[in-house]
Chain A
Amino acid sequence: MARHEPGERRLIVKYAVLTLAIFLPLIVAFLLVRNLYPVAAWNVMMAGGDLERGRNYCILRGETISGETIDIPAINLTNALYSRTWTMVNATIGNQSFKLKSIHPQNEEFSRQFGGVENLPPGVRLPDLLQAWGEIYNKQLPASSPQRLKAIRLDMYRWEGGSYSDYDKFIESWRKEL
């Protein structure tokens, strides 16, 4: 068996602890197939796609002062949410921030006004999100620009599934005047 100097032995112990501290939580997350930030289970696309399952999706649009309706790529508004915008919108539509163990005080109050989380209409916080996005968009343009938005909206569509066609059945729209 190799003999190590005390300093070297300390280094080996330190690296063993570091390895265990990183890999043990990862292995537990893997076994449970569960992410608990910052511990990740690499479950990316684990379920795969299912043609029979219908899916909703959204298009962000703006209505300009000049009267045009334009598509607005959300990445141009909040690029920090790179790769995550679509799930943020889905969670907002599903009122997920109202279904936490610890709810934000303003959401708690809002929920009380509606008589409980179950009575909230879908996307009850979407107007706040749309307002923020609309303001960010308008800030990027000169005050006199006809391309500035007078309203911003989120249109939801559904692909019913079952075939590779009919992707855009209109479901619902949320609109916010700016």
Chain B
Amino acid sequence: MAQGIVNRVVPRSAFALGVVRCIVQGAFLVSILFTSFSALGSLPVTILRPTGVMKLLPWSFYDGLQTPAAMVVFKCVLVLSLLLSTAGFLTIVSTKTSLLLVVFYQGLLRSFGHFNHDEMLAVYYLVVLAFTPCGDEFSIDSRLKTRTERPAFAYAYPILLMQLLMAWTYFSSALIKIRVAGVKYLSTDNLPALAIFHSLDNLHDTHFKLAFWLPQVKAYLPFAVGFVLIWELLFPLVIFWRRLRWWMLGFGVVFHLATLFFMNIFFPHQLAMYLIFLDWDRWKNKRNDKN
């Protein structure tokens, strides 16, 4: 019965899971292609603060890696692995190497800065993809060899798991805010003070100054903050209530754009992951009907 429910609420074809693989791996591929690893390798290793599992590696390893030349080699390996996993070639192996390399790379970045959450959801998606048959269609592998027959559940459940993970990010985020800050989170100064702080320096990636307008409308801001909290708490409905889905995701886009323009904080990877909510089976059927 559970399988039946899963198969009904999410796309259940090998094609849909293949498209999702391409989106997730491709998102990392594109962002890494446009990143200067030689500049990253120029930063002094002495400011590095290995975080979490990154502490398991010895300093001699970081000394060897943290040079422009070594980082360029690392980028080449990362790009090659992500190219293979995005295209679905040697998928069983390449999705796992991409997972390992991206986890290491993201850990290295967090060892310089802080534990920001933009890419984390997509990192968990890489975990899901590494252990599911995501190369059975929409991949080079599927053109080279005949596919093993699997039940629809094999493709539907990984997509459901990814949707649940996204719901968890918003839902748990709201609960933590309520737990830690309580009703203080709805104070009139919460948003303007935070937004202005993030708009003062030139170390953030963008330098929008809209935050300085917020004190003028601060009496209304607790309603906006409260609305966002409710949206986060209700986000799990996106999975099971299709009619609500596009409104909720649409608001998510507005919310993330608002944090960009008012706080100079943006979550592009998280936004790109919204694409897993598209019904790729229906999209394929429509295309086939047209042809």
B117/A40 in contact, CB under 8 A? yes
Map CB proximity to B onto A104-123 as digits: 1 under 8 Å, 0 otherwise: 11110010000000000000
- Which residue numbers of A lie inside 8 Å of B, CB to CB? 2, 8, 11-12, 14-15, 18-19, 21-23, 26, 30, 33, 35-51, 53, 55, 57-60, 71-75, 77-89, 91-92, 96-97, 100-102, 104-107, 110, 125, 128-129, 132, 135-136, 157, 159, 161, 164, 167-168
| A105 CA / B63 CA spacing, docked (Å) | 10
B128/A22 in contact, CB under 8 A? yes
B47/A129 in contact, CB under 8 A? yes
B46/A49 in contact, CB under 8 A? no
| 11 A–B pairs (Cβ distance < 8 Å), ordered by A | A18-B131, A47-B180, A48-B191, A51-B189, A58-B201, A60-B203, A71-B202, A79-B35, A82-B35, A92-B47, A102-B59
- Which residue numbers of B lie inside 8 Å of A, CB to CB? 1, 3, 34-37, 39-40, 42-55, 59, 62, 103, 106-107, 109-110, 112-118, 120, 123-124, 127-128, 131-132, 150-151, 153-154, 157-158, 161, 165, 168-170, 172-173, 175-177, 179-181, 184-185, 187, 189-197, 200-205, 207, 212, 215, 265-266
| A46 CA / B229 CA spacing, docked (Å) | 11
Q: Which residues of A contact B201 (CB under 8 A)?
A: 57-59, 86
A89/B118 in contact, CB under 8 A? no
- Of the candidates A18, A72, A84, A86, which one forms a contact with B109 in the assembled complex, judged by CB atoms under 8 Å apart? A84
Known: A38-B123, A100-B49. 13 other contacts (CB 8 A): A37-B115, A41-B172, A44-B173, A51-B189, A51-B193, A58-B201, A78-B43, A79-B36, A80-B40, A81-B113, A85-B204, A132-B43, A135-B42
Residue of A nearest to B232 (CB): A42
Mostly helix, strand, loop or mixed at chain A's interface?
A: mixed
A74/B202 in contact, CB under 8 A? yes
Tell me how far the C-beta of B59 lies from the nearest C-beta in chain A, rounded to whole angstroms: 5
Mostly helix, strand, loop or mixed at chain B's interface?
A: helix
Q: Which residues of B contact A44 (CB under 8 A)?
A: 116-117, 173
Question: Which of B168, B184, B200 gathers the greatest number of chain A CB atoms within 10 Å?
Answer: B200
Q: Which residues of A contact B266 (CB under 8 A)?
A: 83
- Of the candidates B45, B190, B193, B200, which one forms a contact with A57 in the assembled complex, judged by CB atoms under 8 Å apart? B200
Query: Provided the pairs A48-B181, A92-B47, A125-B47 are in contact, do residues A15 and B157 lie with their beta carbons within 8 angstroms?
Result: yes
